[in-house]
Structure 1
Amino acid sequence: MKRPVVGVIANQYQIENRYPTHAGGTINSSAVADVAGCMPLIIPADARYVSVAELLETCDGFLLTGGRPNVHPEEYGEAATEAHGAFDRARDAITLPLARACIERGQPILGICRGFQEVNVAMGGTLHPEIRDLPGRDNHRMPPEGTMEEQFALRHKVRFTSGGVFHRLMGAEEVMTNTLHGQGILRAGRGVVIDGWAPDGTPEALYIDGAPGFTLSVQWHPEYNAAHDPVSRPLFSAFGDAVRAWASGQAAPLLKSA
């Protein structure tokens, strides 16, 4: 039986500091294949090679992955500073209009970390370059040392809106997540509903109000250990259900709040 296709947005890297590549993490592909039950297709996020129109026709849904480069602040009307870090303007040029098109069409998207931030910026929202510099906020960055298991370890709670989309999906108002980001949402974009928060008030989960399809996005990294983590598995399972619905010509469910 043919599986629906999920476009996994790749990031740019250099092998041995000289050979340019587009690559996607194996844990992203594993989460899409093993938990969502879809076929992962790595997408080079560069308009020289693909167009938004082609992607919408080729894929049934999209995973907006995390990545070290940040959304360029010019995309939300601010000047770049050293605090904003590295950028990938080629990815910005694909993912921001792709997110808007999917939201309008009802085509399923799942945003992770940078992808979470991309959805907010695509809808006119803003970001802060260093959440830890805001009063009362914690350091959400990835630990600089340690094994992958240690870096992706569960580090803080996320509290969801009581009775909201994520509460209903997870079956709990509070869950434990990892945290590996420096930037975060400062102002929510049009229709962006913040549905989950870290203990320090940092936005951690969102969906788009009134969107006809699946638009859930999270600031943490649910792709890690997705098959076994009790928070990751329902998120990717629901995403897979939405992608299958889209592929079969049905409305992709969003899990609207009660």
Structure 2
Amino acid sequence: MQTVKPALPRPVVAVICDRISYFQHNVHAVPETYLRALHEAAGVMPVLIPACPELLDLSTLLATVDGVLLPGSPSNVAAERYKAEPLPKETLMDLHRDETVFSLLPSVTAQGIPLMAICRGFQEVNVFYGGTLHRAVHERADAIDHREGDHARAIEEWYEDSHLVSVTPGGLLATLSGTQAVRVNSLHHQGVDRLGKGLRIEAFALDGLIEAFTAPDAPGLVLGLQWHPEMSLGHSPLAQQLFTTFGDSCRRRQQSRLCTKSTGGNDEFISAYAV
């Protein structure tokens, strides 16, 4: 009788939270749209990671997860992280998230854990690689206004495609999109100024602003996007491809992680899921 192998469990993806105030409590939260995109489009299981480094055991986390997502946020990366003058006092910040992300990224990238970074996450990764940020992209000469616009509009209208990005030939996005340009949404006022060392531009806006990058020499996938593909899955084949690619990378990481656990009671588990 033929033995039927059990279905491989979904890869686990750590999603870094924002720390926000909710009824005078410190709360760690992520918009549900990211979690649904990971579950439905990437085929992984999202797990929320609090923006509180003292609560995290790095070795446990790295041994458990198959991918990391840095989501967008209304808050800004502290300018001190890229050796610039502090942002104005009224600027929304999240120093707890900064501390969490920048404490995780060295090990995540060194170990080749797939990394997908969106909006604020995109900016965090650029800073981690030694890059800098524009404080107010819309104030640059001849710049597109990349902000989301009137907040009185329905939330769905914030995420409507608003401008073209040019796709760099020969890159990952060119392979996934099969085209030279795509329309994307835009909800940010900061952006990449100097690109971090080791990052490759995958797409840029018509005003020259970098909109996507990868890290070709990294041991695992590093994919950064300034726009929000999680909000475009209903109409954008590229958005679906981006999450599928991330999910596939997480599955490869999962298989490698399981196959390296070859001690004690893990042998039987690994054998059952071997490919």
TM-score by length of 1: 0.92
- Structure 1 residue 102: deviation in Å? 2.0
**Equivalent of 1:175 in 158, 179, 182:** 182
- Please give the alpha-carbon distance, in whole angstroms, between the structure 1 residues aligned to 2:234 and 2:35: 12
Query: Could you tell which deviates more after superposition, 153-162 or 138-147?
Result: 138-147
* Distance 1:52-1:38 versus aligned 2 partners, 3 A rule: same
Matched, 1:78 2:97: no
SS at 2:246 equivalent:
helix
Confirm or deny: 8 A CA contact 2:176 2:238 kept in the other structure. no
Match of 1:255? Answer: none
* Distance 1:84-1:56 versus aligned 2 partners, 3 A rule: farther
Match of 2:269? Answer: none
- Structure 1 residue 74: deviation in Å? 0.7
- Structure 1 residue 46: deviation in Å? 1.3
Matched, 1:188 2:195: yes
TM-score by length of 2: 0.86
Matched, 1:125 2:128: no
- Structure 1 residue 163: deviation in Å? 2.2
- Please give the alpha-carbon distance, in whole angstroms, between the structure 1 residues aligned to 2:115 and 2:93: 22
Q: Percent identity?
A: 37
Confirm or deny: 8 A CA contact 2:117 2:223 kept in the other structure. yes
- Please give the alpha-carbon distance, in whole angstroms, between the structure 1 residues aligned to 2:206 and 2:168: 13
Deviations 1:41-82 (A, max 9, x none): 111121121143332122110110001111111111112131
- Please give the alpha-carbon distance, in whole angstroms, between the structure 2 residues aligned to 1:105 and 1:239: 16
Match of 1:230? Answer: 237
Cα RMSD over matched residues? 1.6
Match of 1:23? Answer: 29
Confirm or deny: 8 A CA contact 2:159 2:187 kept in the other structure. yes
Confirm or deny: 8 A CA contact 1:35 1:227 kept in the other structure. no
Query: Could you tell which deviates more after superposition, 31-40 or 96-105?
Result: 96-105
- Structure 1 residue 133: deviation in Å? 1.0
Specify the structure having the higher radius of gyration (Cα): 2
Alignment of 1:27-42 (within 5 A): 27-42=33-48
- Please give the alpha-carbon distance, in whole angstroms, between the structure 2 residues aligned to 1:48 and 1:218: 28
Confirm or deny: 8 A CA contact 1:71 1:88 kept in the other structure. yes
Match of 1:64? Answer: 70
- Structure 1 residue 97: deviation in Å? 3.2
Match of 1:156? Answer: 163
Matched, 1:142 2:152: no
Aligned residues: 249
Alignment of 1:85-100 (within 5 A): 85-100=91-106
Question: What letter is aligned with 1:214?
Answer: L
Provide structure 1 residue ranges, at least 5 long, that are not aligned to the other structure. Answer: 251-258
- Structure 1 residue 103: deviation in Å? 1.9
- Please give the alpha-carbon distance, in whole angstroms, between the structure 1 residues aligned to 2:83 and 2:57: 24
Alignment of 1:201-240 (within 5 A): 201-226=208-233, 228-240=235-247
Deviations 1:182-201 (A, max 9, x none): 10010011101122101111
